[in-house]
Structure formats: C-alpha cells, structure tokens
Amino acid sequence: MIYADYNSTAPLLPSVKEYLKTRLDTPFFANPNSLHTRGRQVKEILENSRRYCAKFLDADSYQIFYTSGATESLNWAIHSLLSASKNKIVISSNQEHPAVSKLLNILYLTGDIDLHLIPTLPSGEIDSIQTLDLINNLGNKIAFVTCLMASNETGVIHSLDKIIDLCNTKDIPILSDSTQLIGKVPFSFKSSKLSMAVVSGHKLGALPGCGILLVKNPKLLSPLIVGGEQEQGVRAGTENYLGIESLSIALNEIPTHINLYKDVQKLKNIFEQQLQSIFSNLIILGEQATRLPNTSYISFPQIHSQALQIELESENIFVTTSSACADNEPHTSISVSAMGLDDQIGRGAIRLSFGPNTSQQDFDYIVEKLEYAVNRLQRLKSR
C-alpha cells in the first residue's frame, strides 16, 4: 500500500505510537485544571508540552495556545483580529483554505468586513506586487491581512517577507495559515515576524483533534469559546492533553523529517520528469514556483480525476483529487480557479503528497500504475 495523501493527514508517527503505549500505562489521567494531585500532575505534563512546542516552533511559551486544530485556530484568529480593530477592511489571498475563505465570505455578506482579495498569478504564487499596493493604498483602514504560507493543493510556497515587513511597518496584524508548511521546511515563528500562525497535529503525525494558535501578542486574543478559564482565560474547554502531548512528540521529529524531505524532493523531481516523458499533455500545476518538497499536483486534461483516483486505489495507491462532484457537475478546485486555468485542467487533476519515508520503489510503482491507468481510461473514453 502506498499512501500519497500526507497533505490531508499524516499517519501516526512511530515515536508518537510508542509514547502513547507507555503513556496509557501511567496513572496520570485527570482534568489538568483540577487542584488535586492527579490534576496538578497532568497540568505539569501539559505545560512541559507547551514548553517543548515553543522550543520546536521558536516561540515563547506564552505565545502557544492549544486548540482542536487549524480550523479552530484560524477562526479564532480572524474573530480576535476583527474584535481588536475598529477597521473593517480585510486583505486576503483568493486561494485560502475554506476555514479562512468561507468565514471571510460570511463576514463580507453580513457586512461585518470589507473584503479585498489578492489575485493569484498563473504560476500559482500570489500577486505580491498588487498586495503591497493594496496595503500602501489602504494603510490605516486595514483590520488585518491574511495569506497562507503554502498551498495544500499545488504545494506552492508563497514569498511573504516583503508583505510581512510592510504590515509590521504599518502596524497591521498579519495572519498566515502555516498548516502545510510547518514540518516540511524550516520554520521559526520569531523569524517569520507574523502576528499569528497555526499548527495542526494530524498533519505532523500526531493525534487528530489537537493544534496550536501561535500569537505574537496575546493581548490581541478574545475568546471564541467561552466557559472555563483555560489557556490564559481566552479558550475555554478541558485541554486535549493526550493530543497535545503527541503533538510535542511530533514537533520533536521536525528536524529529522526536514532532512528526509530533501531526499523526497529529489525523488519527486525525477518522478515528475518521468511522467512528463511519458505523457505529452501532462500539466504540473505550480511547476515554475517554489513548492513544498512533497507535493505534486498534476493534471491529465482528457481524464476525469475521480476515475483516475479509483483506478489507482484499485492498485493500493491512495491520492486525492482536486474536484468534488455533485450530481455529475464538477467544481474546479480553489487553486485551479485562482490560477485562472481552464476548468478541464481542474477536472483532470490529482494531488500526490508524499511522506518523509516515501521510497524510490514507491515512486517507480506509482509511475507504472499511473501509465497503465491513464492509458486504460483513454481507451475507454475513445470507444
């Protein structure tokens, strides 16, 4: 079995599994907010995990806020940034994850914000020049700027340095969906100069249902979930301490995985070259841009991606498609639409996202089965 859908979720890391086996045999299970001995013991483990997470993300412990994952973190960040500002203008890229784009659209339709979308270049990169112009022109009317660090679909890594520097110069908060980038390439919250960033445990091989909102200035936060006084009083609810512990273990693996991903990138480049030599009409989305080392977003314009996905799954290769179908009406993905590409390209696109231990044999097997599947589907279509 070859799992090539790491950008959706990563399998539990062996180190996380081993930790949990040992952890489940310990007596330390209690509400970390209880004052009795067991509660204090769990609280100590929780705070040790916070210090570990801060160390691996190059942040301060007080800047780490535990959440259920990236979706909650992004929603919380957006609501907090709006609450902290008297302004209504929000600048956002047009290829954000739905956790950002859907919320911003709701706020726009209800009149709570004035939304300005940053266009995407045909390369898959955001138009940084237009972004800088927008920030310069709107200046002190902006509530915040939000732009993802790397696309989960194309794998394109966006160059945000100039945008972040301009926002900092003008004292405009900037949020970035860093979900896909962290763990695959080096990241430092301090060096990033971002106001807020996010981490999702299940993208890193930790348990699902745990994540982090990184906040440079915690005074910007206002509660999205109310009740108890957890997380410095701004995020109510008993912490998912086992998930959080698994996240600290997974974050510890990042330096090793980044080195492994360098090898994966070399293999991925060869893999894409092989496919281009086999398929003359193959399109690699984001090919000219800097991309995540593990992501190939490829399109066969004459093939329906879901049919190709089914063919590959029959060979125990698990990938994802760029489109979803409702009543046989295809909907092109966010990235394909943002890049201004033909809908046919979107309908024929599949995403392969590899893990730190994907081998040469795995890539060779995928090439073999892709060639067979595409040729078979082309023959069926021509009948």
Same structural domain for residues 84 and 166?
A: yes
The verdict on 364 and 277 lying in the same domain is yes
Co-location of 114 and 258 in the same domain: no
Low-confidence ranges of the chain (pLDDT < 70): 322-331, 382-383
Out of 196, 230, 252, pick the residue that ends a domain.
Answer: 252
Q: Helices (H), strands (E): how many in the chain?
A: 14, 15
- The string of pLDDT tens digits covering residues 178-221 is 999 999 999 999 999 999 999 999 999 999 999 999 999 999 99
Q: What is the separation of C-alpha 26 from the centre of its chain, rounded to a whole number of angstroms?
A: 33
pLDDT, residue 331, reads 62
- Residue 383 and residue 380: Cα distance in Å, rounded? 5
266, 140: one domain: no
Tell me, yes or no, whether 95 and 230 share the same domain.
yes
pLDDT at 380: 78
Mapped onto helix, strand or coil, the DSSP state of residue 326 is: strand
Residue 326: the pLDDT is 37
Range of the domain at 336: 2-8+254-382
Q: Specify whether 240 is located in the same domain as 264.
A: no
Choosing from 192, 224, 252, the residue where a domain stops is: 252
- In the prediction, which pLDDT does 327 show? 34
- Output the average pLDDT for the chain: 94
- 234/297 same-domain check: no
Pairing of β 324-326 and β 329-331 = antiparallel
Q: What confidence score (pLDDT) does residue 56 get? A: 96
User: Is there a single domain that holds both residue 45 and residue 176?
Assistant: yes
pTM: 0.94
Using H for helix, E for strand and C for coil, what is the string for 252-321? HCHHHHHHHHHHHHHHHHHHHHHHHHHCCCCEECCCCCCECCCEEEEECCCCCHHHHHHHHHCCCEECEE
Task: Give the CATH number for residue 351.
Answer: 3.90.1150.10
Same domain for 163 and 265, yes or no, is: no
Read off the tokens for 85.
């500002």
Residues 50 and 26 in one domain: yes
91 sits in which H/E element:
strand 89-93
Using DSSP's 3-state secondary structure scheme, residue 231 falls into helix
Give me the CATH number covering residue 153.
Answer: 3.40.640.10
- Of 252, 282, 311, the last residue of a domain is 252
Torsion of CA 54, 195, 205, 263, to 10 degrees: -100
Decide if 197 contacts 73 (C-beta within 8 A).
no
How far is residue 150's CA from residue 156's CA, in Å, rounded to a whole number? 5
pLDDT at position 324, please?
44
Is the Cβ–Cβ distance between 162 and 128 less than 8 Å?
Answer: yes
Same domain, 262 and 201: no
111 and 189 fall within a common domain: yes
